[in-house]
């Protein structure tokens, strides 16, 4: 038992915040941000725009793309670190907004920037066990909620947005979510976490070092497990945390620059939404073609890390 991708969708808030906009409000520069992170702009949700609003639009677009209705789905998983409400889950609120009339199971996973991989991991297990037919997976974040405007070292790094993918059960184990691996290490909690007053606390250089080690490790694990090399993979679409992390990790794995998909310049770090937003961007711009093999490694607070191998 395996799966196949039947639809995708994404949403980016209208408001764009450029590096130059940051220059006007804090002691930073376009040059510093581009050189250290590769980021040029990011989207920020309106004050009245919630994670659920963004998740709902991305899910609706994925359903339209798949020519399905919400009642055709039999499980919704949403990866989000930034929901406005502690309960209920974003996933179940999306069901309500989309007007589901069936009792579809829905829940959230919290894996920080690795959240979408955790959701893919759950979906793969359910397909393998033959437990679900069609799973809608959403990654949605309003990271701007967590910005500490007095901390230039984290304020410039994040963005908002949502993406969604719909997978259907298939008899082929070489399509859809082919393989996943997820890991975590709670001993490294201090490196990157939220504070009680909803700000991002991060040791940037230490986080950087862990990211360049653990993302490629997870990606290599998946390639070894699948018996493939970088030559067999069409695209590496990593979690979009930082251009230097992406390129150095991909180089360690033997991926040439032409196979690395980068959206961090346009979206910055949208946490659990970043990989799925990048996949949607690549489809929308004719970069990614159906049938291609994508390797998607991620890393984040926890620490959490992992990777997925997806034939799209
Ligand atoms: C955050 C990050 C870009 C900072 O780059 P760095 O080279 O490690 O920079 P440092 O933190 O050592 O700071 C270097 C200097 O830049 C300054 N600086 C920090 N943010 C700045 C900004 N936005 N603009 C200008 N200068 C800045 C620091 O104050 C420091 O100045 P000092 O040398 O006078 O003290 C980098 O550590 C990083 O990308 N880490 C990983 C972050 C990440 O991806 N997190 C999410 C994981 S999912």
Atom 8 (ligand 1): residue with closest C-alpha?
205
The reply to whether 2-170 and 176-311 are identical in fold is yes
Query: How many Å separate Cα 278 from the centre of its chain?
Result: 8
Indicate the DSSP class of residue 283. Answer: H
CATH number for domain 2-170, candidates 3.40.50.720, 3.40.640.10, 3.40.47.10, 3.40.30.10: 3.40.47.10
Q: To test the ligand 1 pocket, which listed residue (110, 193, 208, 304) has its Cβ within 8 A of the most ligand atoms? A: 208
Cα gap 214→183, rounded to integer Å: 9
pLDDT value for 173: 78
The residues that bridge with 141 in the sheet, in sequence order, are 161
In whole angstroms, how far apart are CA 116 and each of 69, 105, 268, 276, 281? Answer: 22, 18, 16, 8, 16
Domain boundaries, the chain: 2-170, 176-311
Are the CB atoms for 278 and 263 separated by under 8 Å?
A: yes
Q: Cβ(272)–Cβ(116) under 8 Å?
A: yes
DSSP assignment string, 251-309: HHTT--GGGB---HHHH-B-GGGHHHHHHHHHHHTTSS-TT-EEEEEEEETTTEEEEEE
pLDDT given for residue 42 in this prediction: 98
pLDDT for position 258: 95
* Sign, Cα dihedral of 17, 18, 24, 25: positive
The rounded Å distance from CA 186 to ligand 1 centre is 23
Q: Residue 201: what pLDDT?
A: 94
113 labelled catalytic = yes
Which strands sit side by side in the sheet containing 106-109, from one edge to the other?
2-11, 160-170, 134-142, 75-79, 106-109
Question: What residues of the chain score a pLDDT lower than 50?
Answer: none
194 exposure class (CB count in 10 Å sphere: 0-12, 13-18, 19+): middle
Q: Of these residues, 43, 132, 239, 267, which one is catalytic?
A: 239
**What pLDDT sits at residue 225?**
95
Rg (CA), the chain: 18
Residue with CA at minimum distance from ligand 1 atom 3: 36
List residues near ligand 1 (CB under 6 A): 28, 32-33, 36-37, 113, 152-153, 156, 202, 204-205, 207-208, 211, 241-242, 245, 269, 299-300
> What is residue 79's predicted lDDT score, i.e. its pLDDT?
98
Beta bridge partners of 107: 77
Q: What is the pLDDT of residue 281?
A: 98
44 Cβ partners below 8 Å, 6+ apart? 13, 15, 16, 17, 144, 159, 160
Cα–Cα nearest to 304, from 180, 196, 199, 198: 180
The enclosing H or E element of 17 equals strand 15-18
Structural tokens at position 269: 């770090």
How far is ligand 1, taken at its centre, from the CA of residue 204, in Å?
Answer: 6
- Cα separation, 86 vs 140, in Å, equals 15
Q: Does domain 176-311 have CATH number 3.40.47.10?
A: yes
Q: How far does Cα 239 stand from its chain's mean position?
A: 6
Active-site position among 19, 43, 65, 113: 113
Which residue's C-alpha comes closest to atom 25 of ligand 1? 28
**Catalytic-residue membership of 239:** yes
């Amino acid at each position: 038992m395996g799966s196949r991708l039947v639809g995708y969708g994404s949403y980016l808030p209208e408001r764009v915040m450029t590096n130059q906009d940051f220059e006007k409000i804090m002691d930073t520069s376009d040059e510093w941000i581009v050189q250290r992170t590769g980021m040029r702009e990011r989207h920020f949700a309106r004050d009245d725009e919630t994670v659920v609003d963004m998740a709902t639009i991305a899910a609706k677009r994925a359903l339209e793309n798949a020519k399905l209705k919400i009642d055709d789905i039999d499980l919704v998983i949403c990866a989000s670190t930034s929901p406005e409400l502690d309960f209920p889950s974003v996933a179940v609120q999306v069901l309500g907004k989309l007007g589901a009339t069936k009792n579809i199971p829905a829940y959230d996973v919290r894996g920080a920037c690795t959240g979408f991989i955790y959701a893919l991991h759950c979906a793969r297990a359910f397909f393998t066990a033959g437990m679900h037919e069609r799973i809608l997976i959403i990654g949605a974040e309003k990271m701007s909620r967590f910005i500490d405007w007095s901390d230039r070292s984290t304020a410039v790094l994040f963005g908002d947005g949502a993406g969604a993918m719909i997978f259907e059960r298939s008899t082929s184990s070489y399509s859809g979510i082919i393989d996943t691996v997820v890991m975590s290490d709670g001993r490294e909690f201090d490196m990157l976490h939220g504070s009680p007053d909803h700000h991002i606390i991060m040791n940037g250089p230490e986080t950087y070092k862990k990211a360049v080690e653990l993302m490629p490790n997870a990606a290599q694990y998946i390639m070894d497990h699948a018996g493939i090399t970088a030559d067999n993979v069409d695209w590496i679409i990593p979690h979009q945390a930082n251009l230097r992390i992406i390129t150095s990790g991909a180089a360690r794995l033997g991926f040439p620059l032409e196979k690395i998909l980068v959206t961090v310049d346009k979206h910055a770090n949208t946490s659990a939404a970043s990989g799925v937003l990048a996949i949607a961007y690549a489809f929308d711009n004719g970069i990614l073609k159906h049938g291609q093999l994508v390797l998607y490694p991620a890393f984040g607070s926890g620490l959490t890390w992992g990777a997925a191998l997806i034939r799209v």
